């Protein structure tokens, strides 16, 4: 499948249609990536309020469901399932996030879908996959990370790894789902046969953690990893703000040390000028930098570091700081999405790839519950 992002030849215009039966983050993020790229994504929602995200977190729901259409179908009812199958006949892919076996139990599992459309790709996103001893277990992002090796990768000596606020497993799984779906749809267009994609959020997180976690096998202390250093960390400055500093290469350490040796005499020492020496003394290096950064406030450090060719950044801890960043503004990374029937205009991050042929990923607001039901059902009669 050739992906041409010109305004009149996006995925949707090329006839790529995806039925999104999922709820909440993983399926929503997977399908919004496709919708941003122009696919016609139809969000299939239940009559009883639809996606939980509408009530739980309307702003996040809006970001995960822009550029989609919504149709209400009751899949517990034979008529609703029959309408779904009619939509499948005209679609390239179905994305779902039920527990394993639920779709089959409703009479619309993969074997039934392929009966009506041999080319259809079913993408099932679950916590632990369709098979295995954990397949039926409930779970959320934190559980998948806990079992994935994510917490086995240390970031500094002597401290346990803690969670991050971003739902890493959910988003990793969503990205693998979107990528695999595009490949599978392209293959189906070539050979006429679809397939069932089994996406496990646990395995997606393990895929991200694996290249860093598995090399630690055999180490008495995982913090002995050469990737754990004292000069690649977040440091608190005098006014309580934080700076991310990462002088992994020797050249950056030398620039930093020599530039500030007069201000901070403890830096006037060449014992850590080689990467191997800094790694071996990672604890001492971190203590040195912790003490140095703590002696001036953020404004001072930003002014001084901005003059140097160094990998550093202030830590943004509010959305407002992120939005005010000059680089974010220059790249038009955040745009204002038009308001919908249920919400006003809102800021959202655009699709994070710039296409030379152009791509407008902030085209339409998230749909209201069932907003396009009549429109989509009418299309089935044409």
Q: Is 170 a catalytic residue?
A: yes
Q: Within a 10 A sphere around the Cβ of 142, how many other Cβ atoms? A: 12
DSSP code of residue 149: T
User: Left, alpha or beta for 101 (phi > 0: left; psi -120 to 50: alpha)?
Assistant: left
Beta bridge partners of 69: 42
Out of 40, 92, 170, 233, which one is annotated catalytic? 170
- H or E element at residue 254: helix 250-260
What are the backbone dihedrals phi and psi of residue 57, each rounded to the nearest 5 degrees, phi first? Answer: -150, 80
Give the whole-angstrom CA distance, residue 19 versus residue 66.
Answer: 14
- Is the C-alpha dihedral spanning 165, 170, 173, 175 positive or negative? negative
**Residue 40 φ/ψ region, left for φ over 0, alpha for ψ in the -120 to 50 degree band, beta for the rest:** beta
Residues 6+ apart with CB under 8 A from 378: none
Q: How far apart are CA 127 and CA 98, in angstroms?
A: 10
Give me the phi and psi of 237, to 5 degrees please.
-100, 180
**Bridge partners, residue 200, by sequence:** 126
Task: Quote the CA–CA distance of 207 and 188 in Å, as a whole number.
Answer: 26
Q: How far is 64 from 355, CA to CA, in rounded Å?
A: 21
C-alpha distance from residue 35 to each of 141, 169, 331 (Å): 24, 21, 21
Per the CB < 8 A criterion, the answer to whether 196 and 122 are in contact is: yes
* Pairing, β 196-200 against β 121-126: parallel
> Which sequence positions are flagged as catalytic?
170
């Amino acid at each position: 499948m050739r992906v041409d992002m010109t305004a009149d030849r996006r995925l949707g215009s090329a006839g790529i249609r995806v039925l999104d039966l999922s709820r909440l983050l993983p399926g929503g993020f997977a399908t919004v990536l496709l919708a941003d790229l122009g696919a016609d994504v139809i969000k299939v929602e239940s009559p009883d309020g639809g996606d939980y995200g509408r009530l739980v977190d309307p702003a996040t729901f809006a970001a995960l469901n822009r550029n989609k259409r919504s149709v209400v179908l009751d899949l517990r009812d034979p008529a609703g399932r029959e309408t779904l199958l009619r939509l499948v006949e005209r679609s390239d892919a179905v994305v779902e996030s039920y527990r394993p076996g639920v779709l089959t139990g409703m009479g619309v599992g993969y074997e039934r879908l392929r009966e009506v459309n041999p080319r259809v790709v079913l993408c099932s996103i679950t916590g632990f996959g369709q098979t295995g001893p954990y397949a039926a277990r409930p779970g959320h992002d934190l559980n998948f990370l806990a079992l994935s090796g994510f917490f086995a990768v240390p970031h500094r000596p002597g401290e346990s790894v803690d969670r991050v606020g971003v739902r890493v497993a959910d988003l990793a799984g969503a990205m693998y789902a979107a990528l695999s779906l595009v490949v599978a749809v392209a293959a189906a267009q070539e050979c006429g046969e679809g397939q069932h994609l089994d996406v496990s959020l646990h395995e997606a997180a393990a895929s991200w953690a694996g290249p860093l976690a598995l090399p630690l096998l055999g180490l008495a202390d995982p913090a002995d990893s050469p990737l754990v250093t004292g000069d690649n960390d977040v440091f608190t400055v005098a006014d309580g703000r934080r700076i991310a500093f990462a002088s992994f290469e020797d050249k950056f350490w030398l620039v930093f040390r020599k530039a500030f040796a007069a201000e901070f005499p403890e830096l006037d020492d060449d014992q850590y000028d080689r990467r191997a020496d800094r790694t071996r003394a990672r604890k001492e290096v971190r203590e040195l930098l912790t003490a140095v950064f703590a002696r001036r406030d953020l404004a001072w450090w930003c002014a001084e570091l901005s003059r140097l060719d160094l990998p550093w950044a202030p830590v943004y801890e509010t959305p407002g700081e992120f939005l005010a960043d000059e680089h974010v503004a220059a790249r038009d990374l955040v745009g204002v999405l038009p308001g919908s029937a249920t919400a006003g205009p809102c800021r959202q991050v655009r699709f994070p790839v710039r296409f030379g042929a152009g791509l407008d990923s902030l085209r339409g607001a998230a749909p209201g519950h069932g907003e396009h039901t009549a429109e989509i059902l009418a299309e089935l009669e044409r």
